[in-house]
Amino acid sequence: MPVSPNIVINRENSSAVFHFNANTAGIVIAGNNSVSNVAIEEEVITGVTITQATYGSTPGAYWHIQRGANTVLVLDSTGFIDFAGIGLPINRDIAADLSVTLIPPEGSVVASKGFLVLEVQKQNARLEYLAD
pLDDT at 17: 96
| pLDDT tens digits for range 13-42 | 999 999 998 777 889 999 999 999 999 988
Instruction: Give pLDDT tens digits for 104-115.
Output: 998 887 778 999
Fold of 6-131: Jelly Rolls (2.60.120)
pTM for the complete prediction?
Answer: 0.88
Instruction: Spell 16-26 as b/e; 16+ CB within 10 A means b.
Output: bbbebebeebb
pLDDT, tens digit, 9 for 90 and up, residues 65-90: 999 999 999 999 999 999 999 999 99
- The structural domains of the chain, with segments of one domain joined by +, span 6-131
**Predicted pLDDT at 1:** 41
Residues with Cβ within 8 Å of 9's Cβ and at least 6 positions away in sequence, in order, are 15, 16, 17
